[in-house]
């Protein structure tokens, strides 16, 4: 159990990052991670050591998130997902680009957003993401393909900085 506990502890940064991407606020993300850790430790006997620990933990986290969403009556807010400062100083253009991508991510259907967060941001394999989301691998590939295409279109058609300045004048 101590070995599993230390392996779970090593996954906390990944869980926190994924939780932040899902819920937005740091406190909400920490609450979600805490609930995930409690559930994982209380159900450690259900983990199959022949399968990856991270996908199992992400699945627990994702299921808790879905339950959390069902209890919420407000819409998912991507703008609050990431703190303003992540330890690096972004230049103005990078900040605008992040805003454009953030706004585009917000427009994606939740299932497409989940696929892109797990595979592109968290680096899970298609198989691991399929396990987390409880859908076939082909569904993950399809959602990811559609999400990438939609993001590409949304980012390409987003108004540029000059358009924003003219709109503010």
Residue (of 80, 70, 94, 71) closest to 22 by Cα position:
80
For residue range 19-29, what is the model confidence (pLDDT) as tens digits? 998 888 889 89
For residue range 115-166, what is the model confidence (pLDDT) as tens digits? 988 888 888 899 999 999 999 999 999 999 999 999 888 888 877 644 544 4
Note the pTM of the prediction, 2 decimals.
0.56
For residue range 41-78, what is the model confidence (pLDDT) as tens digits? 999 999 988 888 999 999 999 999 988 877 654 444 44
Q: Which domains does the chain possess? A: 1-80 (1.10.1740), 84-169 (1.10.10.10)
Residue (of 143, 151, 72, 145) closest to 104 by Cα position:
151
Place of tokens 């209890």: 71
């Amino acid at each position: 159990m101590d070995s599993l506990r230390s392996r779970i502890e090593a996954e906390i940064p990944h869980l926190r990052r994924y939780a932040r991407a899902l819920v937005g606020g740091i406190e909400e993300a920490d609450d979600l991670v805490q609930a995930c850790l409690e559930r994982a430790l209380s159900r450690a006997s259900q983990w199959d050591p022949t399968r990856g620990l991270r996908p199992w933990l992400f699945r627990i986290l994702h299921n808790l998130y879905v339950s959390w969403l069902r209890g919420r009556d407000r819409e998912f807010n991507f703008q609050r997902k990431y703190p303003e400062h992540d330890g690096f100083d972004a230049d103005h253009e990078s900040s605008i680009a992040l805003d454009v991508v953030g706004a585009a991510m917000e427009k994606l259907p939740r299932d497409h957003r989940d696929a892109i967060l797990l595979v592109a941001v968290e680096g899970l394999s298609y198989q691991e993401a399929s396990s987390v989301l409880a859908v076939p691998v082909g569904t993950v590939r399809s959602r990811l393909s559609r999400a990438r295409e939609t993001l590409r279109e949304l980012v390409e058609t987003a108004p540029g900085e000059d358009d924003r300045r003219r709109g503010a004048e």
